[in-house]
Amino acid sequence: MEQNDLEASAIRLQKRIGYTFKDKVLLRVALTHPSLTHNNKDHPENNQRMEFLGDAVLDLILAEELYKAYPDEREGFLGQCRSSMVRGDTLSEIARNLKIQNALLLSPSEERNKGRNKDSNLEDALESLTGAIYLDSDYKSVRKVVLKWFKKLLQNLEKKVAKDNPKGNLQEAVQAKGNEPIEYRVLNVDGPDHAREFKIAVFIGGKRKGTGVGNSKKKAEEIAAEKAFKRMK
């Protein structure tokens, strides 16, 4: 992407995120992927440090909002809610809605590797932008911006928590019906080290109730649990 196009994208991005930077350097750093700074004197700083800060700021803002929104809920529920909101796929979806990908600063190789649309890059950029806004303003200002990003998600949070916690849903359902033991067993592992595929089954009381396939044990277990939970309804 040409430099002029990137600058125009950064201007449009500020309108979409609901914040105009006083210090444009902070914005540039927040959008700079680490691949661009490797042996590059024109871009000496990338967004990794800012991502670290933004991650902590996001956690605080969302934890505070949940604490106020659910005064009668226990810590476990609040933790599940926050975990659901800061999942990588959730953050990357918000980033896409804001079209952050259009303003990312990437190396030519990362551009060729479709880095502009990678979930991990978008997640990191959203956290970096949060950190950048905090540094450019104050906690009150960044909180206002972040809560606008998460407004729709906060309104539908309880449904999302249930959807994002299939193993917890299954455990609660099993406990309600007698609390039989739940066991997850790996049935098969295929593929090379960098592209593993796991096949896992969930057994309840020794009986196989669901099977899942995923690129990680966690994902395969969640799919198996979701299938078993649906059968129990």
| Helix 217-232 with 166-176: angle, nearest 10 deg | 40
Q: Let me know if 55 is a catalytic residue.
A: yes
Residues, the chain: 233
Pairwise CA distance, residues 154 & 88, whole Å: 16
* Active-site annotation holds for 180: no
- C-alpha count within 13 angstroms, C-beta hemisphere, residue 214: 16
Look up residue 179 and give its two tokens.
Answer: 């609390």
42 in Cβ contact with 33 (< 8 Å): no
- Per the residue annotation, which of 65, 123, 124, 127 is the catalytic one? 127
88-97 and 119-136 helices cross at what angle (nearest 10)?
A: 70
Residue 183: strand, helix, or coil: strand
Choice among 55, 110, 123, 221 that is catalytic: 55
Burial of residue 120 (number of CB atoms within 10 Å: 0-12, 13-18, 19+): exposed
Distance CA 31, CA 6 (A): 10
Judge whether 153 and 128 are in contact, CB under 8 Å: no
* CA distance linking residue 139 with residue 61, whole number of Å: 9
Distance CA 23, CA 20 (A): 9
Q: Mutual orientation of helices 157-164 and 75-85 as an angle, nearest 10°?
A: 90
Which residues does the annotation mark as catalytic?
55, 127
